[in-house]
């Protein structure tokens, strides 16, 4: 298909940009359509009063020797200065402060915090993660179908066999029966940000890998995580692709025999035979004129409340850890301000904060239904004030000091819906549970010829690393070479 047909990519997040760049590199005539005026989607940035904030995703992975971003960037001829960071983060539990190292210090830290009784769990988690990383290096395609079977046969090794027996098990099955409340709280809150669910729901193989991010490698980009999208957008244009910002695709006209056209919001109809939908699956169904099934397996679950906080020079020490996760009360459900994630720009990131200050992004999981109910009831502003206070408390606990920000703005699910067009403003993609991950994930393929999917509601799921694999699979399905 490459070289003979135009390819239309819907969505300028990391997934859409990756697919567009790979297809353009291999000769396709690519046009990407992005609602916003900057690339990145939920890994974009915005600027306010001299501060540049990551809008959603903040933790950078995938730039190690076998990292998927590194492989893609090398294949595209793109350079990006990603500096390793260790520790990856500090997790603040009600009764403990856990530093998540990526090297041998993690062994001493976890023994000191969780005790020797938890060591069988951690050792098993790392063994499983090692197998998954090895399998992932072959750029797998799941779930298995006829087109992917030959590729899987080529990359599958005997050491990967135990992964098959793990299907249907949750990572909670690894935990000791008498696991401490502290250990359960730590595992649950780590999985919430990496798998969008708690241990008793999260798929065993996915969960073991999600808990291994620090060991695999965490990195720092001077401009924030949005540097990934900015670099990919340059690669799209460098290889001859086009990006149309401030442009919405309203409809995909298709029959099961194939895609026929896309229709823009302004009514422009563009003939199309190949479309990459780098948007949530619920959005794809709407563009096809189909209803969202009530039991959709890839249904997203969470929205996010975010706060964008600019602080002046001197508030954050130069050697401060840049990422913090917090749990205020481990007897209460996570999210809704009871758990939060705080990310801080680096001390030398002059492009991100004026006069030596820091740009801070804070987020917490939230139920979008409650926000829609509040808007209908006329209590939206009251709810926003309450969450603003919780976000400020999270920043102050992470930094260990009172904060008087010079910039403070709140984002809600409505904010994400406005700027990214994601269905109901939901973020994080498909929760990676025993019923929706890996062999049970949604394929990048669809029942419409010429229409492929990528993003956080297709295999393998969330994170810039996950959506990059989905983009590689989508691009390969349309004829692009691998990386």
pLDDT digits (tens, 9 = 90+) for 35-51: 999 999 999 999 999 99
SS3 433: strand
* pLDDT band at residue 1 using 50, 70 and 90 as cut-offs: low
289-327 residue pLDDT tens: 999 988 887 789 999 999 999 999 999 999 999 999 999
Instruction: Give strand ranges (E) for 212-302.
Output: 218-220, 242-244, 249-255, 258-264, 269-271, 274-277
The closest of 373, 380, 301, 381 to 335, measured between CA atoms, is 301
d(CA 199, CA 170): 7
Query: By the 8 A CB rule, do 214 and 193 touch?
Result: no
For Cα atoms 140, 141, 144, give the angle at the middle one, nearest 5 degrees. 120
Structure confidence at residue 89 (pLDDT) = 98
The CA distance from 13 to 57, in Å, is 11
C-alpha closest to that of 211 among 327, 137, 320, 130:
130
- In this prediction, residue 271 has a pLDDT band, given cuts at 50, 70 and 90, of very high
| CA–CA gap between residue 298 and residue 282 (Å, rounded) | 9
- Kind of pairing between the strands at 274-277 and 451-453: parallel
Question: What is the SS3 assignment for 218?
Answer: strand
| 3-state secondary structure at position 417 | helix
* pLDDT value, residue 294: 84
Mean pLDDT of the region 109-115? 98
For residues 262 and 10, the answer to whether their CB atoms sit within 8 Å is: yes
pTM of the model: 0.96
- Span 342-394, pLDDT tens digits: 999 999 898 999 899 999 999 999 999 999 999 999 999 999 999 999 999 99
Q: Which residues contact 477 (CB under 8 A, 6 or more apart)?
A: 147, 444, 445, 452
Q: Please, are residues 192 and 334 in contact by the beta-carbon 8 Å criterion?
A: yes
| Chain centroid offset of residue 69 CA | 13
Residue 116: CB partners within 8 Å, gap ≥ 6? none
| CA distances in angstroms from 191 to 23, 184, 213, 214, 303, listed in the order given | 33, 11, 11, 13, 16
Question: Which runs of consecutive H residues, i.e. helices, occur in 37-99?
Answer: 68-76
List domains and CATH numbers for the chain: 6-82+223-298+428-477 (3.50.50.60), 110-216 (no CATH), 301-425 (3.30.519)
């Amino acid at each position: 298909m490459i070289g003979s047909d135009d390819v239309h990519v819907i969505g300028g997040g990391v997934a859409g940009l990756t697919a567009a760049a790979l297809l353009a590199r291999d000769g396709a005539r690519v046009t990407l359509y992005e609602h916003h005026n900057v690339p990145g989607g939920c890994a974009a940035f915005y600027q306010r009063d001299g501060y540049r904030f990551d809008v959603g995703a903040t933790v950078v992975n995938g730039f190690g020797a076998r990292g998927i971003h590194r492989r893609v960037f090398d294949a595209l001829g793109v350079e990006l200065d990603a500096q390793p960071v260790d520790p990856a983060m500090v997790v603040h539990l009600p009764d403990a402060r856990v530093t998540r190292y990526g090297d041998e210090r993690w062994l001493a830290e976890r023994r000191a915090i969780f005790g020797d009784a938890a060591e069988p769990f951690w050792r098993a988690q790392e063994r499983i993660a090692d197998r998954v990383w090895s399998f992932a290096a072959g750029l797998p395609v799941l779930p298995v179908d006829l087109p992917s079977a030959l590729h899987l046969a080529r990359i599958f090794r005997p050491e990967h066999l135990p992964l098959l027996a793990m299907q249907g098990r949750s990572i909670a099955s690894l935990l000791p029966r008498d696991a401490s409340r502290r250990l359960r709280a730590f595992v649950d809150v780590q999985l919430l940000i990496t798998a969008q669910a708690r241990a008793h729901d999260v798929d065993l193989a996915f969960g073991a890998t999600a808990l291994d991010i620090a060991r695999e490698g965490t990195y720092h980009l001077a401009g924030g995580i949005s540097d990934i999208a900015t670099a990919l957008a340059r690669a799209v244009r460098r290889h001859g692709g086009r990006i149309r910002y401030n442009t919405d695709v309203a409809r995909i006209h298709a029959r099961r025999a194939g895609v026929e056209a896309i229709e823009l919001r302004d009514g422009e109809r563009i003939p199309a035979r190949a479309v990459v939908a780098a948007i949530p699956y619920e959005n794809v169904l709407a563009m096809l004129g189909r209803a969202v099934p009530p039991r959709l397996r890839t249904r997203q679950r969470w929205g996010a409340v975010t706060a964008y906080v600019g602080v002046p020079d001197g508030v954050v020490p130069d050697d401060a850890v840049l990422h913090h996760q917090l749990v205020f009360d481990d007897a209460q459900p996570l999210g809704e301000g009871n758990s939060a994630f705080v990310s801080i720009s680096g001390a030398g990131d002059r492009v991100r904060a004026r006069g030596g200050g820091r740009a801070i992004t804070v987020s917490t999981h939230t139920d979008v239904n409650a926000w829609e109910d509040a808007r209908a009831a006329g209590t939206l502003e009251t709810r926003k004030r309450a969450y603003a206070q919780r976000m400020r408390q999270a920043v102050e606990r992470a930094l260990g000091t009172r904060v008087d920000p010079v910039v403070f703005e709140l984002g809600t699910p409505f904010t994400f819906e406005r700027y990214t067009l994601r269905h109901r403003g939901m973020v994080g993609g498909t929760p990676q549970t025993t019923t929706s991950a890996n062999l049970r994930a949604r394929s990048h393929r669809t029942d419409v010829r010429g229409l492929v999917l990528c993003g956080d509601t297709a295999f393998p799921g969330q994170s810039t690393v996950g959506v990059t694999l989905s983009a590689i699979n989508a691009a390969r399905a349309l004829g692009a070479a691998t990386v």
